[in-house]
Structure 1
C-alpha cells in the first residue's frame, strides 16, 4: 500500500464540549468485498473521518494480510513485518492533523498469491489515531474474502494384518494438494477426515483430534469404541502439501475375517467442501487382513438336507445364497455377523428338483447390521457467522459385510 493521503475540508459540525471532554474520534470506512484470482491486485481506498471534538495529530494506519495475500510494493512511511501465523503487516505513519469534522483518504493495496483461497484483511487505526489494538470497532475493520481458486482434499487409507483377538494399528491421512491453502473460520467447509472403523474390529485407541460422529456432526470428545469418527485440525488450517495423520489402534474380533473400513475427505459436518472440485480422490480404504479368514467379505460353510445333498453356501459382498438342494431339501439361512449387532435374513423356500433357496442379504449401516427380511490466522473477526451444521443422512459403512452361514438339519 502507498502512504499517500488526501485531506478533506471539514464538513461536519463540531459539537460543543467541555475542555476535559475534548478528544478525537476517528472512524474508517469499509472496503468493498472481492474475490480476486491468484495474481490479481486489489487496489481500493478508505476514508478516515474525525467525528470527535479534538484534532488527531497524526494517524497510525495498519494493514494485516493472511498468508495467501501480500503487499505488491513497499511504500514510504510504512514499516513491514511478519507477525504470528505468517500474517504480513504494514504499519504506516500518516503525518497529518485531522481536525474535527475533517476527512482523509488512504489506499489499501494487496495482491493474491498462487496459494490464495480463504483470506482476510485487517485495516484501520484507533479512535485517537494511535496504533490499533487487537479488537474491532468503527476505526479498525476486518474483511473476509475467498479467492477465485480451489483446494483439493485427498484421503489416504492404510492396511494392517493381525490374528483374531489381536490389536493392529492403522493410520488415516488427510492431505491438501492445493493450489489453495485452507483457513476456514467463516463457513461449515472446515476440512476434516471421516473415518469408518472396519466391521469386525473395535477402535481401542483413538486420536485426541478425532470425535465420534453422529448424524450430522461431532457428538462429543474423543473416546474409543465408536464405529465412526471425524478428525480435523483444531485451527481449521491445512496448507498446501500438508498431511494430517490420525492413528487408530483396532482390536480384531475373535471371529472376524478380512474386513475393510473407509476414510473420506470432507468437512467437520460431513458436507463435501465447495472449494474441493475433485471428488475422485476423496475416499480410500482402511483394510485389516485376518490370516485364514477366507478373503474380504467371503465365508464358506457346509449344510445338509433330507432327501438330497447341499453344497456349501458362499457369501460375497454381504449376500448369502443357499447351496444346491435335492428334492424336498431346505435352503440355508444367511446371518449377518457384525461387531455392533446381528441381522438375520429370511429363510429360503424348500428346494424342488435341485433348485436352490435364496436368502436375505446382510448389510451394515453406521455399525449396525441389518438384514433384508430380518431384524483467519490470529486476526480476529467482527461479525463472524455462527457455524450452522447442515443435516446429513446416515451413510452405510464402506467396508464389506462379513456373513456367516449356520447349519440347519431337517428331520
Structure 2
C-alpha cells in the first residue's frame, strides 16, 4: 500500500511538471524563435536635408520603434556617411569613426537620436548624396532608411507690408511685393506664390499664371486662396519685384482681416492657369540687408465695424404654482463678419435674466449658469439667470431660445426680466439700440393655480426644485411621517411567528 502511494505521488508530480512546461515553455529555444520574428523600424525624421545654409550645420534625426509589446535587445544602429563624405562630416562632438556613426542600446522600444553634420571647407555648392541608417538586434529584425543631403539651399524671402487700419467697405488696398534669395542655390525652375485672404478682403484681377484653389484645408479663417507660378529663376543675392502690385478690395464682410503670402521654389513645371496677362517677376537689384527674414508674411487689415446683432424678447402669461415659456431670438444681421483672428474659440454670448420669482425647469442646450462655461457640470436647472453661447456667428444666423420656468408663490402680477448681448471684444456691435429686450411674465387676473398644486405651494410637482416655503415643508413632513408609520407597522407585522 505504501509503495502504491509513493508511485501515485511521483506520477502526480510528473503531471504537474508537464503542465508547467506546457504553460511556460520548455526552454529558451522556443522563446528565441518567437522573439526573432519581432520587427524594429528605424526612420529618418526628414527625408531631404540641406547643409551649409542658415545655420551651416544640420541635425540628422532618426526614430526607432519596435512592433508589438516588449523591447528589442542588444541593438546596434549605424548611420553611414560615405555617400556625403565629399562635402559633409560629423561634428567633433559626435561618436563616429571614419564614415560610420554608431549607437548601441541594451534594449529599445521607441525613441530617437540625432547626429550633427557640418560642411567640409571648400565643398562644392550643389553637391548631393545619400545617408543610410541600418541596424541589428539579438531578438528582432531591423529595417533601415535613407535621406538625401545637399550642400547649399534655396532660401526665399518676401517683403513686409504695413498694417492697414480703419478701412471701410469699398476701399482699395495696394500691396507691392518683392522676392529675394539669401541661399546658395537658385530656385532654378522658378517660384510659386500663394496668397491667402480672409472673408472681408477680395483679391482683384485675373492673370494667366494664377488660379484660385480651395481654401478648405487652410484653417485660421482663410476663405480665399490663389496660387501664382513664376517660371523665372530666382538667383542667390538677387531681388525681384512683381510686375504690378497686388490690389485688394475691402468687402462688406470686413472687420478683422488679414492677407497672407508665402513663396516657395517650384519643383515641377508650372501647371496650366487661367486667362489674362501673366504676372511676372522683374529683377530689382540686390538682396536687401535688413528685410524680412522669412519666406512668408501676414498683413492685418482692420475695418470700421458695421456689424449688428439684434435680440427680441417675449411676453408670457401664467399662474402662481404653474409653468410658462418664453421664446426669444438672437439674430446676426451683419453685414460684417465678427471673428477674432487670434482665437478660433470665440463666439457670441447673450445674458438671459428670467422674470423675478421664477426658476427654470427647461433650458436650451448651450445655456449655463452665469460665470461658468461649456465645461460646467453642476445642476443647470433651477436658476433665474443664464449665459448662452453661439460659436462662430455669421451674417444671417438666427437662433431661437426657449425657456420654460416655474412660477413662484410670491411672483408679482407683472414680472420683467431681460435678454442682453455681451461683447467678446471691444466695439463688436456699434448699434446698441437692439442689443437688449424685455422678458415679461403677466399673471392671470386672479393669480390662482389652475389644474396644478394648491395655491401657494412651491415648487410645483415634478420640477425637481428645492423649496423653502412653510406649506411645502409641512406637507413633506406629514408625508414622511406617514411613510415612517407604515414602514414600522409592516416591520412589526413581518416579525410575527
Name the structure 2 match of 1:22. Answer: 152
Matches within 5 A, 1:168-187: 168-186=324-342
Confirm whether residue 251 of structure 1 aligns to residue 406 of structure 2: yes
Name the structure 2 match of 1:77. Answer: 209
* CA shift digits 1:280-324 (9 cap, x unpaired): 221101222332466xxxxxxxxxxxxxxxxxxxxxxxxxxxxxx
Matches within 5 A, 1:183-198: 183-186=339-342, 191-198=348-355
Please give the alpha-carbon distance, in whole angstroms, between the structure 2 residues aligned to 1:58 and 1:281.
55
Matches within 5 A, 1:1-400: 19=128, 20-35=150-165, 36-56=167-187, 57-81=189-213, 83-84=215-216, 87-106=223-242, 107-126=245-264, 128=265, 138-186=294-342, 191-214=348-371, 218=373, 220-221=375-376, 223-235=380-392, 237-239=393-395, 241-257=396-412, 258-268=414-424, 273-292=426-445
- Cα 1:151–1:166 change in 2 (3 A) is same
Please give the alpha-carbon distance, in whole angstroms, between the structure 2 residues aligned to 1:123 and 1:116.
19
- Cα 1:284–1:21 change in 2 (3 A) is same
Are the counterparts in 1 of residues 358 and 384 from structure 2 also a CA contact under 8 Å? no
* CA shift digits 1:220-268 (9 cap, x unpaired): 5373333332223223x332x3323333332323443442211112224
More displaced stretch, 94-103 vs 217-226? 217-226
Please give the alpha-carbon distance, in whole angstroms, between the structure 1 residues aligned to 2:237 and 2:54.
6
- Cα 1:13–1:22 change in 2 (3 A) is closer
- Cα 1:255–1:14 change in 2 (3 A) is closer
Number of residues paired by the alignment?
275
What secondary structure is seen at the aligned counterpart in 1 of 2:333? Answer: strand
Structure 1 residue 341: deviation in Å? 11
- Cα 1:54–1:293 change in 2 (3 A) is farther
- Cα 1:25–1:229 change in 2 (3 A) is farther
Please give the alpha-carbon distance, in whole angstroms, between the structure 1 residues aligned to 2:298 and 2:54.
29
Please give the alpha-carbon distance, in whole angstroms, between the structure 1 residues aligned to 2:374 and 2:213.
41
Higher RCO (CA 8 Å, separation ≥ 6 residues): 1
- Cα 1:176–1:63 change in 2 (3 A) is same
- Cα RMSD (Å): 3.6
* CA shift digits 1:100-138 (9 cap, x unpaired): 222223333210113322222222134x4569xxxxx93
Structure 1 residue 189: deviation in Å? 8.8
Please give the alpha-carbon distance, in whole angstroms, between the structure 1 residues aligned to 2:237 and 2:155.
10
- Cα 1:286–1:80 change in 2 (3 A) is same
What secondary structure is seen at the aligned counterpart in 1 of 2:185? Answer: coil
Please give the alpha-carbon distance, in whole angstroms, between the structure 2 residues aligned to 1:97 and 1:293.
89
Who wins on radius of gyration, i.e. which is larger?
2
What secondary structure is seen at the aligned counterpart in 2 of 1:169? Answer: strand
Structure 1 residue 82: deviation in Å? 5.1
Please give the alpha-carbon distance, in whole angstroms, between the structure 2 residues aligned to 1:231 and 1:264.
10
Are the counterparts in 1 of residues 349 and 390 from structure 2 also a CA contact under 8 Å? yes
**Unmatched segments (≥5 aa) in structure 2:** 1-52, 57-122, 129-149, 269-292, 448-464, 469-497
What secondary structure is seen at the aligned counterpart in 2 of 1:245? Answer: strand
- Cα 1:280–1:103 change in 2 (3 A) is same
**Unmatched segments (≥5 aa) in structure 1:** 1-11, 132-136, 295-338, 343-411
Structure showing the higher helix proportion among its residues: 2
